[in-house]
């Protein structure tokens, strides 16, 4: 089931999207679930990790589309976001939140169909790599492919991603279990590294995403075997 979350304060515009969505399903796209909200704040209050595409009206009361998109990106770094707008000069703001694009009102069947088709394809790739991570009272969703390494120190865990460090409220062991099957290796009690992000190795260290991390002596042999096996599969 492909799930869309839409924030649109105009009843007429929301109804139009629902009718066009029904037509998209009738003409070949897979079954979909649409969750409709009247503003961005309401959408955020009900946001869950199974959302595949977020449709946001730009001009809304309470919390507008751009502010909502920035808040979503703090919860979910990879979900597809598309803006709905009467204006065509908002591209720079959209790039800031990695938006897929814009649907210009009145939204047409063709534009919605093409956007949905792209989002469905993107979601199929995204779902296999997304992991939930707890941060205080909220849950974030991180693409395993973007994680370079995980570090723990004094009972604090930090996930280092290509977008920057992400402190979390879970133990190293819990994160390691979630990343099982994603080509990660525990090179040290304090470090879990992505084999895909290893740049070089020395007798005592590994360079991961430009950071030099120590490799425990008793883990070195298994680490090299895991790295060799990973490289062999990717060649």
- Domain limit, last residue, from 127, 142, 162: 127
Number of structural domains (the chain) is 2
Question: At which of 127, 145, 166 does a domain end?
Answer: 127
The CATH number linked to 112 is: 3.40.50.2300
Question: Is the peptide bond prior to 106 cis by the omega test (within 30 degrees of 0)?
Answer: yes
Whether this prediction's pTM lies above 0.75 is answered by no
Rounded distance between C-alpha atoms, residue 133 and residue 140, angstroms: 5
Residue carrying the six token digits 């694009």: 101
pLDDT of residue 101: 85
Per-residue pLDDT of the chain in tens (235 residues, 90 and over written 9) = 788 999 999 999 999 999 998 888 777 666 678 999 999 999 999 998 789 999 999 999 999 999 999 999 888 888 899 999 887 655 556 667 888 888 999 999 999 999 998 888 888 766 667 888 998 888 888 889 889 999 998 889 999 998 889 999 999 999 999 999 889 999 999 999 999 999 999 999 999 989 999 999 999 999 999 998 887 765 4
Burial tier of 104 (Cβ tally within 10 Å: 0-12, 13-18, 19+): middle
CATH number of 151's domain: 2.40.50.1020
- DSSP code string of 40-55: HHHHHHT--TT--EEE
- One domain, residues 142 and 106: no
Full residue range of the structural domain in which residue 8 is found: 2-127
pLDDT of residue 90: 59
Note whether 152 and 164 are same-domain residues: yes
Query: Are 59 and 162 within one domain?
Result: no
- Regarding whether 103 and 78 lie in a shared domain, the answer is yes
Note whether 85 and 186 are same-domain residues.
no
Q: Which of 127, 158, 180 is the last residue of a domain?
A: 127
In the three-class reduction of DSSP (H, G, I as helix; E, B as strand; rest coil), residue 204 is classed as coil
CA–CA distances in Å: residue 121 to residues 80, 112, 193, 208: 11, 14, 29, 30
Residues 156 and 68 in one domain: no
């Amino acid at each position: 089931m492909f799930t869309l979350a839409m924030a649109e304060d105009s009843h007429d515009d929301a109804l139009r999207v629902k009718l066009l969505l029904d037509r998209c399903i009738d003409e070949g796209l897979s079954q979909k679930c649409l969750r409709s909200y009247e503003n961005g704040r309401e959408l955020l209050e009900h946001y869950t990790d199974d959302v595949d595409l977020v449709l946001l009206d730009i001009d809304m009361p309470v919390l507008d589309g751009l502010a909502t998109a920035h808040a979503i990106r703090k919860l979910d770094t990879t979900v597809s976001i598309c803006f709905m707008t009467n204006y065509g000069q908002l591209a720079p703001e959209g790039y800031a939140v990695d938006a897929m694009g814009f649907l210009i009102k009145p939204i047409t069947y063709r534009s919605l169909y093409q956007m949905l088709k792209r989002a469905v394809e993107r979601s199929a790739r995204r779902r296999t790599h997304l992991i939930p991570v707890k941060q205080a009272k909220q849950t974030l969703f991180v693409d395993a492919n973007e994680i370079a390494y995980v570090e723990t120190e004094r009972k604090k865990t930090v996930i280092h991603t290509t977008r920057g460090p992400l402190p979390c409220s879970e133990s190293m062991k819990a994160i390691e279990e979630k990343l099982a099957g994603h080509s990660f290796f525990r090179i040290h009690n304090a470090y879990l590294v992505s084999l895909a992000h290893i740049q070089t190795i020395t007798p005592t260290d590994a360079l991961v995403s430009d950071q030099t991390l120590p490799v425990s002596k008793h883990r070195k042999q298994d680490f090299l075997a895991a790295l060799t096996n990973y490289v062999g599969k990717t060649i």
